Amino acid sequence: MEKEIKLSEAQITADLYPRKFGLPGMLWTSLLIAICLVGAYAYYLQLRDGLGVTALRDYASWGIYISNFVFFVAISLVGSLITAVLRLSNVHWSTPLTRIAEIIAVSGIVFAAIIIIVDMGRPDRFLYVMIHGRLQSPIIWDVVVISTYLVISLLLLYIPLLPDLKIMLQHKEKNIKWLNKVYHFLGSFWVGSKEQFRLSEKAINILAVTIIPVAFCIHTVTSWLFATTYRPGWDSTNFGAYFISGAFLVGAGAVVVAMYVFRKAYHLEKYITDDHFNKMGKIVVLLALLYLYFNINEYLVPAFKMKKFEVEHLEGLFTGHFAGIFWFAIATSMVLPILILLFKSGRKPLPMFIAGLLVVVGAWCKRFLIVTPTMLHPMLPMTDAPEEFMHYFPTWQESAITLGSLAGALLIVTFFTRILPIIPVQETIAEQHETDKDN
Amino acid sequence: MKRIKTTSAGLFFLLLFLATSLSALAQEVEKADLNLNLRYFLKNNKVPYLTVETNTKVERRFEPVQGMAVAVYLNEVAPENLLANVVTKEDGKATAVIPPDKREVWNSSHQHTFIGVAEESERFEETTSEIEITKARLAISTDTTDGARNVMVLLEALDDEGNWIPVEEADVKIGIQRLNTVLPVGPDDAYTTDEEGVALAEFTRDGLPGDDNGNLMLVATVLDNDTYGTLTLEEAVAWGAIVAHSNDFDKRSLFATRDKAPYWLLFLSGFIFFTVWGTIAYLVYLLMRIRKLGKTKPATKPEPAPVELTPA
């Protein structure tokens, strides 16, 4: 058990107050902006010349855009895990991680929505989804549930932020001038009265209860986009649970990476302690084991039966064209993190960071493997199709847009840390008071 | 010495060239055998037609010959008797009908000869095939005696005086048309005509699904008869079970258009949607209350002085 460190209110506020970027922060932000700009230019080319600039064709009509979409939806689920599940379980140690989880959730879900419009080719067609959409289609359910989840995630980010906004408004001179108007608009009405606290607590509790089924819905419905079609690799009744377990894992991995980076960059060792890493490590290893269990089910059972239409798909994954990336994804997203995190020494910040990174990278590859190989193995044989239709490798425009979207999500998180406390100040002070009282 | 070598080499290449050329010529001379078959069809006693079938033996197997041009003549090979010029398709088959301008010749006799001529090509020699056909017709009648349902098929041929006479000892298949095949009406596949030209079969397929009115399509076929060709006649008979087909088209279903979503889906999705968005609306209401409290009510305790950002 780590020794409790007594911190004054002033010190907590000073430690957690948003700070100007140093040189590494500026370089990091510039790099992200540059990647986003290249992505924006590639998107301009796609808008100008059509989806033909991508490698998406008749067969592989879903490529890295949809893989990226599934990845973003998955990573966004962490908001419900850290904020809601742990809150409702009366777990208090997660307080410093809630806002990290929520901003990852919001940025993830924003870019999930953006990338799906990118995949449509013509953005104006999104309007058609609204006008001509069929309620019977899981795509419509996905549109509805993503919008709902975005709103709930924003509320879950915003309401606990109110006391911190008040703190921000108390130190206007330290803030970027024009942002004071934003803080004023968002939080000037917060006076910290008992009644306001009571109502905000009530709202957060309702949100915590609401977000769990909605989070389950968002990823279950995303899995149904695949599972409701009769295709090798997708024709599974297990897909909802499989997707949710994978989503919790990648979300937790992302939080671990963010914890390490924020702790290092802002010297938050007193707030994001080794104990936090240890506990998050246990959560990640549990989720990795759970996801491994679902993967075994998802691949071993069809491989045991080797139904005729599954053979080519499974052989492609196990020993064929996609074998490299398949085994890489299995190793990085599950096996290696489990091996690292099962041991206490592996649940230290640096090994945890490495394990988290492996989980996130492996998870992206896993989403690619869920989407693309199945598209290249249709039920009916590919005949009278040009050679390029039978393979899929993303073009530079497609890759640039995808990387741009990933950079964009990171940019949201980065800007958020610059303008708002990434660890809840008021809650940390309140918890410190509670600890002082107990002592 | 050098000259001899040069001459020898020249002779060698000359012989090689000659050998290659002769071999090529020999190959050109050896043409494959073409099998050309004509078949005569008459369906429902209406317009007769012919099929031309071509195949050749390739490595012990008969394979259809595609793109073979065949001229079909009536009675004798002469330009004025040309019925059709046809080209075989992928399956080695082509179809020819008797054109209206040959109707008079066709009606003039009870017997005709069809001659197919495949002209010489790079692969095949000129090939000729012919069939002689006597005009014939089928008629179907049915009756029910003591609960037994009988099908009588009458086969008649035209004689040289223009009279229809019964055909004895001919095999007739009697069946019921199903989706892709013809199901025999009884235990036997084919029935033989008697001295009156009638083939009698008992219908034993009780309860067989018919169309909306319970109609079954009886099919009588004289198959590849050397004298009469292939004759087919269909006749509807109300011996089938009436099947009421349920049509789901344009009904509310998961695969219908957007305005035909099933009620259960509308109700369920609507319930979920309004429950969740109702909760969100309530949360917005709570936020508005928090906002109102801050604007109208002073804090319960005096505003504390802002803490210094630099820790002591």
* CA distances from residue A91 to A81, A86, A98, A382, B89 in whole angstroms, order as listed: 12, 5, 11, 54, 78
Give strand pairing partners of B191: B172
Q: Is A173 on the interface with B (CB under 8 A)?
A: no
C-alpha to C-alpha distance for B6 and A137, rounded to whole angstroms = 84
Task: Examine domains B35-134 and B136-237 and report if their fold is the same.
Answer: yes
Alpha-carbon gap: B247 to the closest alpha carbon of chain A (Å): 20
Which residue in B15, B239, B220, B251 sits closest to B137, CA to CA?
A: B220
- Determine which helix (DSSP H) or strand (DSSP E) holds A260, and give its type and residue range: helix A239-266
**Does the distance separating the beta carbons of A174 and B258 come in below 8 Å?**
no
User: pLDDT digits over A46-80, tens only?
Assistant: 999 999 999 999 889 999 999 999 999 999 988 77
Through-space distance between the first and last CA atoms of chain A, rounded to whole angstroms: 16
Indicate yes or no: CB of B290 within 8 angstroms of CB of A206: no
Quote the CA–CA distance of A35 and A399 in Å, as a whole number.
Answer: 11
> B311 to chain A: which residues are within 8 Å by CB?
8, 10-11, 14-15
Distance, CA of A289 to CA of A310 (rounded, Å)? 26
Q: Determine the angle formed by the axes of helices A323-330 and A308-318, rounding to 10 degrees.
A: 70
**Helix pair A95-120, A396-419: axis angle to 10 deg:** 150
CB-nearest partner of B306 from A155, A170, A207: A170
Contact status of B244 with chain A (Cβ, < 8 Å): no
Q: Does B273 touch chain A (CB under 8 A)?
A: yes
Structure tokens at B239: 């011996």
Q: Which two tokens stand for residue B242?
A: 């009436």
- Under the banding of pLDDT at 50, 70 and 90, the label for residue A130 is confident
The domain A9-434: what is its CATH number? 1.20.1630.10
Of B265, B294, B299, the CB nearest to A136: B265
Measured between alpha carbons, how far is B276 from B258 in angstroms, rounded to an integer?
23
Higher pLDDT, B2 or B190: B190
| pLDDT value of residue B132 | 94
φ and ψ at residue B21, rounded to 5 degrees: -65, -45
Q: Which two tokens stand for residue A81?
A: 């895990």
CB distance B312–A162 less than 8 Å? no
Instruction: Quote the percentage of chain B above a pLDDT of 90.
Output: 63
Q: Is the distance from CB of A42 to CB of A401 less than 8 angstroms? A: yes
Residues of A in contact with B287 (CB under 8 A): 155, 159, 203
Q: Which residues pair with B73 in a beta bridge?
A: B82, B115
* Closest residue on chain A to B280 (Cα): A152
In terms of CATH, what superfamily is B136-237? Immunoglobulins (2.60.40.10)
Domain segments of chain A as ranges: 9-434
What DSSP designation does A137 have? S
Coil, helix or strand at residue B139? strand
Provide the CATH number for the domain formed by B35-134 in this structure. Answer: 2.60.40.1940
Give the pLDDT score at B211.
87
DSSP A386: -
DSSP type of residue A174: G
pLDDT tens figures, A329-355: 999 999 999 999 999 999 999 999 999
Other C-beta atoms closer than 10 Å to the C-beta of B162 total 9
Most B-contacting residue of A196, A199, A200 (CB-CB within 10 A), to test interface: A196
Domain parsing of chain B, residue ranges: 35-134, 136-237, 258-296
Q: What is the pLDDT of residues B177-227, one digit of tens each?
A: 999 899 999 989 899 999 999 999 999 988 899 988 899 999 999 999 999
Q: Inform me whether the C-beta atom of residue A197 falls under 8 Å from chain B C-beta atoms.
A: no
Q: Min CA distance, A430 vs chain B (Å)?
A: 14
Nearest CA in chain A to B267: A135
B267 touches chain A (CB under 8 A): no
Q: Which residue has the higher pLDDT, A2 or A299?
A: A299
Question: Which tokens is A160 given?
Answer: 């606990």
Alpha-carbon gap: A36 to the closest alpha carbon of chain B (Å): 33
**B268 at the A interface (CB within 8 A)?**
no
Residue B252, number of CB atoms within 10 A of its CB: 16
Residues in chain B within 8 Å Cβ distance of A132: 258
Residue of A nearest to B294 (CA): A189
Tell me which amino acid residue A4 is: E
Q: pTM for this structure?
A: 0.73
**pLDDT confidence of A369, banded at 50, 70, 90?**
very high
B33, B124 contact by CB (below 8 A): yes
**How many helical (H) and strand (E) elements, i.e. helices and strands, does chain A have?**
19, 0
Q: Which single residue is written with the structure tokens 């993303």?
A: A394
Res. B32 pLDDT band, cuts 50 70 90? confident
Residue A42 near residue A396, CB atoms below 8 Å: yes
Q: Where are the beta strands (DSSP E) in A321-397?
A: none
B118 conformational bin, left if phi > 0, alpha if psi -120 to 50, beta if neither = beta
Q: Cβ–Cβ of B261/A141 closer than 8 Å?
A: no
- Is residue B94 within 8 A of residue B88, CB to CB? The reply is yes
Q: How far apart are CA A203 and CA B34, in angstroms?
A: 89
Q: What is the ipTM of this complex?
A: 0.90
Q: Find the mean pLDDT for residues B54-80.
A: 92
Nearest-Cα distance to chain B for A148, in Å, is 8
pLDDT of B6 over the 70 cut: no
Chain B interface, mutation test: which of A191, A194, A212, A221, most B Cβ atoms within 10 Å?
A191
Residues ≥6 apart with Cβ < 8 Å to B267: none
Spatial CA neighbour of B55 closest among B129, B163, B113, B111? B129
Question: In angstroms, how far is CA B155 from the centroid of its own chain?
Answer: 28
- pLDDT score of B312 more than 50: no
- How close is the nearest chain B Cα to the Cα of A182, in Å? 15
Per-residue pLDDT for A328 more than 70? yes
Average pLDDT, chain B: 87
**Whole-angstrom distance, CA of residue A17 vs CA of residue A167:** 9
